[in-house]
Structure 1
Amino acid sequence: MKVSKFLVSALVVVATTVSSMAQTAEEIAKKHIEAIGGVEKWKAIKSIEIQNRMSIGGMEVESKSIILVGKGLRTEASVMGQKIITALDGDQGWTILPTMMGGTGEPQELPNAVTKQTKGQMNFGGALIDYVEKGATLELVGKEKVDNVEAYRLKLTEKNGDVTNVFVSPSTYYIVKTTASRVINAKNTDIELSFSNFKAVDGLIFPYTTEIPSPMGGGQMTMEVDSIKLNPSVDEAIFKKPAKK
Structure 2
Amino acid sequence: MKPAFAALAGLFLLSACNAAPEAGSLVDRHIAALGGEAAIENVGSIRVQVEVTEPEFTVRGNYRADRNGHMRIDIFADDTRVFTEAMNGETGWQMFASGEVADLSPEGEAALRQGITGNLFGLHEYEGLGHQVSEGATVTIDGIDYRTIDIVLDNGHERRLYLDPQTFLVARERSEFALHPDLDPDEEIFETRYSDYREVGGVIRAFASERINLRTGEVAQTTRIESIQINPDLDPAQFERPASPQSEQ
Q: Same fold, TM exceeding 0.5?
A: yes
- Output the CA distance in 1 between the equivalents of 2:136 and 2:240: 41
Residue identity opposite 2:194 in structure 1: F
For residue 129 of structure 1, give the secondary structure of its aligned residue in structure 2: helix
- Output the CA distance in 2 between the equivalents of 1:108 and 1:154: 36
Residue identity opposite 1:207 in structure 2: A
Identity within the alignment, %:
20
Asked if the contact 1:71–1:236 (Cα under 8 Å) also holds between the matched residues in 2, the reply is no
* 1:79 paired residue among 77, 80, 98: 77
Residue identity opposite 1:157 in structure 2: V
Higher relative CO (CA 8 A, sep ≥ 6), structure 1 or 2? 2
Q: CA RMSD in A?
A: 2.7
Q: Which residue of 2 aligns with 1:68?
A: 66
Cα distance change on mapping 1:197 and 1:244 into 2, 3 Å: same
* 2:41 paired residue among 36, 40, 43: 43
When you count helix as a share of all residues, which structure comes out higher? Answer: 1
The structure with more radius of gyration: 1
Cα distance change on mapping 1:152 and 1:113 into 2, 3 Å: same
For residue 133 of structure 1, give the secondary structure of its aligned residue in structure 2: helix
For residue 154 of structure 1, give the secondary structure of its aligned residue in structure 2: strand
TM-score in terms of structure 2 length: 0.76
Asked if the contact 2:39–2:201 (Cα under 8 Å) also holds between the matched residues in 1, the reply is no
- Output the CA distance in 2 between the equivalents of 1:55 and 1:181: 20
Q: For 1:8-65, what per-residue CA distance to the aligned partner results, in whole angstroms no more than 9, with x for missing partners? A: xxxxxxxxxxxxxxxxxx7111111111111112111111111111222374311111
- In structure 2, the gaps of 5 or more residues are 1-23
| Aligned: 1:229 with 2:229 | yes
| Aligned: 1:240 with 2:240 | yes
- Output the CA distance in 1 between the equivalents of 2:172 and 2:134: 16
Comparing 43-52 and 169-178, the one that deviates more? 169-178
Asked if the contact 1:113–1:182 (Cα under 8 Å) also holds between the matched residues in 2, the reply is no
Cα distance change on mapping 1:114 and 1:66 into 2, 3 Å: same
Comparing 234-243 and 113-122, the one that deviates more? 113-122
Q: Which residue of 2 aligns with 1:151?
A: 146
Q: Which residue of 2 aligns with 1:29?
A: 27
- Output the CA distance in 2 between the equivalents of 1:188 and 1:221: 15
> Size of the alignment, in residue pairs?
216
- Output the CA distance in 2 between the equivalents of 1:181 and 1:168: 19
- In structure 1, the gaps of 5 or more residues are 1-25, 99-103
Q: For 1:110-150, what per-residue CA distance to the aligned partner results, in whole angstroms no more than 9, with x for missing partners? A: 11111111111112455623123234333333222455432
TM-score in terms of structure 1 length: 0.77
* 2:129 paired residue among 130, 134, 150: 134
